Amino acid sequence: MKKRRWLKWSLISVVVLVVVALFGATMYMYQYAFVPGQKSFLNGGKPTKVYQDNQRWLKNVKQSKWHQQSATDDLKLAAIYVPATKPTNKTILVAHGYMGKKEDMARYIHMYHDLGYNVLAPDDRAAGESEGDAIGYGWTDRLDYVKWAQKIVATNGQDSQIALFGVSMGGATVMFTAGEKLPKQVKAVIEDCGYNSIADELAYQLNDLFGLPKFPLFYTTNWMARVRAGYNFNDGDTAKSLANSKLPIFMIHGDQDKFVPTKMVYTNYKAAHAPKQLWVVSGAAHGEALATDPTTYRNKVAQFLNEYLQ
């Protein structure tokens, strides 16, 4: 009898320890992946001269602050609007990357400004000057970008023509946004190195950074995200969004991308049923397509936009 009681309490103790350890690991993974802050795996090293030059340009160029409330709750969101040098009805709506902010898109804002476009660059939820406690990986942000597009039309007029552009998480954001009901003034999408789903990207990072399989942390972290961040990250699937989109899309990806594996762009390209173009940039790592081949990047983007923003 004593031996049986000892075995019973031993099993209970083991189960409790496993549950406590799993809960602790889940909390750590949620904090690591969803809560804004400094992340060691994102250490990009010393800023390049090009980055610093574009940061200075952005600080000095004529611009204004825009604000709005988030689409599904009461968060205050911020953006910067950089008007073109010559008045135009054409605007690029720019989405930044994971743990980034609007100012990090300075080089792209500069490029589009030089091409003659107005540029609106928001801070996503929980980024920069926008309110929020959790990263949305583009999924919770997609409806906010619909509202930003509506605000462009309301501010600049019904004759506005708009293109969506994003890099990394921003690339996924604009693909998610493309599947929503957008103003008719949104004419095209350009995505640079976006993942094909939040689930696939997080599972890839779980293995790449920690050497862990999906079970069980992937599933318990999704449960935590649903409780604390308010969404199921399995819903963020670009194939579903692109299937609902009729917008022409230009997809860009580096063939040396180890953060969002290059194979994901082929999944995205296959999922798009609207007019589409694909450019896989030789020698480019994650988010480095513009830096790797700036002249070709600018020319290809300009050609695509000239085709669809008349």
* pLDDT tens by residue, the chain, 310 residues: 556 666 655 566 555 576 788 999 999 999 999 999 877 777 666 889 999 999 999 999 999 999 999 999 999 999 999 999 999 999 999 999 999 999 999 999 999 999 999 999 999 999 999 999 999 999 999 999 999 999 999 999 999 999 999 999 999 999 999 999 999 999 999 999 999 999 999 999 999 999 999 999 999 999 999 999 999 999 999 999 999 999 999 999 999 999 999 999 999 999 999 999 999 999 999 999 999 999 999 999 999 999 999 8
What DSSP string runs through the chain?
A: -HHHHHHHHHHHHHHHHHHHHHHHHHHHHHHHHHS-S--GGG---SPPHHHHHHHHHHHHS--EEEEEE-SSS--EEEEEEE--SS--SEEEEEE--TT--GGGGHHHHHHHHHTT-EEEEEPPTTSTTS--SS--TTTTTHHHHHHHHHHHHHHH-TT-EEEEEEETHHHHHHHHHHTS---TTEEEEEEES--SBHHHHHHHHHHHHH---STTHHHHHHHHHHHHTSS-GGG-BHHHHHHT--S-EEEEEETT-TTTTTHHHHHHHHH--SSEEEEEETT--TT-HHHHSHHHHHHHHHHHHHHH--
List, in order of start, the domains of the chain with CATH numbers.
63-197+229-308 (3.40.50.1820)
Q: Is the pTM of this model over 0.75?
A: yes
